[in-house]
Amino acid sequence: MDFQGPSAKLADGLGIWASSRDEVIVMEASSTEHTEDVPHSLGDSVKLIEGSIHALKVLGVQSILDRITLTTTRLAFDGQGWEHIEPRSAEIPAIWEDRVKLLRVAELMATVYNLLRDRERVMEEIRNEENGLAAVATDETLRAHQERSLLLMQLDDQQGCSHADDGDDI
């Protein structure tokens, strides 16, 4: 699934996975080195969050002033909503005396590399499962999850619970 939202079209940079043509990194430069346009920075932050929710395999990279931040969004552990997290952030050194800060930038780039490598492993596993090359436990299939959800809804209905559409359905 390509990240096709308006955020991708207006992004300052996109990282494309060569084999699948999927967007995997969306980049935003929200300020100059010395001055920050706060409304612009906030708008870029919202754009990255919205974009990463629409395409969970997308990493966000935002630079504000002398800081670069890596973000990603994942399904919350309880399955109820999303978590937008910041795996790494680094100050970009502007003068030679601050060159030691490049270590944090290198750590951020290594984190991007590791996250993309993990993504490729997961995508390969999914392809293998889809094509019957890897076994999937019966209770882990989409059908089994849907049947459990349906059963829980039926039990709730029997107990008189109502289900309001709160827009959080996956």
Mean pLDDT of 110-131: 88
Of 92, 96, 93, 56, nearest to 72 (Cα)?
A: 56
Asked whether the predicted pLDDT for residue 43 surpasses 50, the reply is yes
Asked whether residue 125 carries a pLDDT value surpassing 60, the answer given is: yes
Q: What pLDDT score does 107 carry?
A: 96
The overall pTM is greater than 0.75? no
Give me the pLDDT at residue 52, please: 67
On whether the CB atoms of residues 37 and 30 are closer than 8 A, the answer is: yes
Mean of all residue pLDDT scores within the chain = 78
Higher pLDDT, 27 or 103: 103
pLDDT band at 129 (very low <50, low <70, confident <90, very high): confident
Residue in 61, 68, 53 with CA at minimum distance from that of residue 28: 61
Question: Which residues are within 8 A (CB) of 24 and not within 5 positions of it... i.e. 6 or more apart?
Answer: 15, 16, 17, 57, 58, 59, 116, 119
- Decide if pLDDT at 64 tops 50: yes
**Most confident listed range (13-22, 57-66, 153-162):** 57-66
**CA 31 to CA 36: how far, in whole Å?**
5
Q: What is the pLDDT of residue 167?
A: 46
Overall average pLDDT of the 18-37 stretch: 75
Rounded percentage of the chain residues whose pLDDT exceeds 70: 81
The answer to whether residue 131 scores a pLDDT higher than 90 is no
Give the number of residues written for the chain. 170
Query: Is residue 163 pLDDT above 60, yes or no?
Result: no
Helix (H, G, I), strand (E, B) or coil at 8: helix
Per-residue exposure over 78-101, b if at least 16 CB sit within 10 Å of its own CB, e if not:
eeeeeeeeeebebebbeeeeeeeb
Tell me the CB-side half-sphere exposure of residue 15, using CA atoms within 13 A. Answer: 13
- 156-164, Cβ contacts within 8 angstroms, sequence gap of 24 or more: none
